[in-house]
Amino acid sequence: MRSSRLFSPITLGGIELSNRIAVAPMCQYSADDGSATDWHLMHLGQFAVSGVGLVMVEATGVSPEGRISPGCLGLWSDANQDALARVVGFCKDYGNTTMGIQLAHAGRKASTDLPWYGGAPIPASDPRGWQTVAPSAAPYSDAFDTPTALDEAGMAKIVDDFVAAARRAEEIGFDVVEVHMAHGYLLHQFLSPLSNKRNDAYGGALEGRMRFPLEVFAAVRAAWPRNKALGVRISATDWVEGSSWTVEEASRFTAALYEAGADFIDVSSGGSSPAQQIEAGPGYQTGFAATIRRDVGIPTMAVGQITEPKQAEAILRSGQADIVALGRGMLFNPRWAWHAAEALDAEATFAPQYMRSSRALRGEPVPGNPPVKARKD
């Protein structure tokens, strides 16, 4: 019998994951002024005890204006840090996984309402909103306010904000940091010619468009311990005809990140333009991960409509990726890893309180309660 690739360990930087199943970062829009709440304790805690190799905390704003919405997590203050430390401490005390966090700045796509309230842009004139920033003074769509084009001082502040957030993440006890450079948010905005219209050293050809994201990464790399893991999430394509940001440019950018010390790359796609035409379907982004893994050789995470255990196993066995990340599938079934282990005849990790749900122990008596003999009528 072949052993499961999905349930084999993998080392990223100085961190070994117990298996290759990751919970993708998923915005919950349930923070209080950037601080984690009981919702996050429940949301992340359920995954921490469920046998996955990595739990990645949602996109966490490195500054108040870097959040997607007023309900998004942040890590710019002592209050933010203390609240998130409570959640991570709970997950580490009771869980059986590695904890990671995605650090982010939403740029021109910031200051939007919560999705269940419609997700519309909140203008800076609204007390709940704020002035957004971007590489260029070009809004995401006509519905958005025009962002302020970043000057060198503004860019330097953003670098400092990412570094400060990374240091807070280390103090909290995270073992993995992922810098968010995907989905049309600020660092992706620099990479894509759809949003980067600059004519200075930070725009134009790919080398210019990569410059600021690489500066941010280098600063975080210098601050983040080498005995932990540091990666990046990218969009491998804009899904817009005429944009040069495709998997070819994404591969070149990933090679530069790898050379700069990235331990892994998390490959998603899209988000730069409302004109995108995404060809979605099962595993629809896995081909991008495979291309980047082949071209660059960096440990690669695949994400996007990966829902079935045998599908995930095949992605890894065929060399398309090294880790699979699940989002919606985990929301639907937080015990996905346990069920995958049964489907693949592998072993998953259980919290001791839940051991009776393990296939090996089903039907056994509850500890301390002797079996009851069947009555004979």
Q: Distance (Å, rounded) from C-alpha 242 to C-alpha 231?
A: 29
Fold of 16-361: TIM Barrel (3.20.20)
SS3 of residue 127 by DSSP = coil
pLDDT in tens, 181-200: 999 999 999 999 999 999 99
Q: Which of 140, 185, 202, 258 is catalytic?
A: 185
Active site residue 258: no
pTM over 0.85, yes/no? yes
The predicted pLDDT at position 364 comes to 63
What pLDDT band is residue 1 in, cutting at 50, 70 and 90?
very low
Confidence of residue 365 (pLDDT cuts 50, 70, 90): low
Query: What are the pLDDT digits (tens) for 66-106?
Result: 999 999 999 999 999 999 999 999 999 999 999 999 999 99
- Token pair in block for residue 342: 């049964």
Cβ atoms within 10 A of the Cβ of 126, count? 12
Q: Give me the helices (H) in the chain, please.
A: 38-48, 78-94, 152-172, 186-191, 206-223, 247-259, 286-296, 309-317, 328-332, 336-343
User: Which two structure tokens, joined as six digits, stand for 347?
Assistant: 């072993």
> Tens digits of per-residue pLDDT, 290-344?
999 999 999 999 999 999 999 999 999 999 999 999 999 999 999 999 999 999 9
**Full DSSP string of 309-370:** HHHHHHHHHTTS-SEEEESHHHHH-TTHHHHHHHHTT------GGGGGGSGGGTTSPPTTSP
Has residue 209 got a pLDDT over 60? yes
What does the pLDDT look like over 29-67, one tens digit per residue?
Answer: 999 999 999 999 999 999 999 999 999 999 999 999 999
